[in-house]
Amino acid sequence: MAVHLHEEDLPEGVLAPGAVAVDTETMGLITARDRLCLVQISDGQGDEHLVRFSPGSAFNAPNLKAVLADPARVKLFHYARFDLAAIRHYLGVDATPVFCTKIASKLVRTYTDRHGLKDLVSELLGKEISKQQQSSDWGGPVLSDAQLEYAASDVRHLHAMYDILVVRLAREHRTEIAQAAFDFLPTRAALDLVGWADKDIFSHE
């Protein structure tokens, strides 16, 4: 198992076929203001690939974009809504089809209100991950070993959790509603980008 850091694009041919786990790191939580700094991606075979974008990047990244936009690859996220918005805004692609472990967790783990990645990894896989670097500076010229490990850990366990959550969704007869929610996520991200991030357009008010 290794963590590979790349500059501006993913090398061609480093990922096996099939679903890929994806995450992003940005300078903050306002997508249009806080630039995309890092995209993490893993094919679930043991290595994690981190693609770093410099200040002023043109975000060309043809190899990464091809993977993210590939309709034959399911993209696994935890809280896909944020990552899809960042990917669309900076890379100009819709990373679909999508499976979001946070949404799946909320649909099947109704016995708890703890749906963060750390909690999910702990319960489903019996492993512990650190979130200490979550709020660190991702735009600096050098990423620390702790930052690289944190970024890699955000995609390291998504395939294993996906396998478990798919079974639980089927067990609770919620596969269809989950898929409908996943299919809507690109639209939800688009609404966030154009000004409806904090508004529920489906509410009565």
131-147 residue pLDDT tens:
766 678 999 999 999 99
151-176 residue pLDDT tens:
999 999 999 999 999 999 999 999 99
DSSP letters for 45-56 = SS-EEEEE--TT
pLDDT reported for residue 1:
80
Cα distance between residue 178 and residue 170, in whole Å: 10
pLDDT (mean) for 53-81: 98
Note the CATH number of domain 3-196: 3.30.420.10
Q: Could you tell me whether strands 36-42 and 48-52 are parallel, antiparallel, or unpaired per DSSP bridges?
A: antiparallel
pLDDT reported for residue 135:
73
Cα distance between residue 41 and residue 52, in whole Å: 11
The pTM for the full model equals 0.95
Which band of pLDDT confidence, cut at 50, 70 and 90, is reported for residue 205?
A: confident
User: 104 to each of 76, 78, 100, 119, how far by Cα in Å?
Assistant: 11, 9, 6, 14
pLDDT (mean) for 50-79: 98
For the chain, the structural domain boundaries read 3-196
Average pLDDT, the chain: 96
Between 134 and 53, the more confident residue is: 53
User: 8 to each of 34, 63, 82, 147, 155, how far by Cα in Å?
Assistant: 17, 10, 21, 18, 19
| Cα–Cα nearest to 15, from 73, 59, 76, 79 | 73
Does 49 have pLDDT greater than 70?
yes
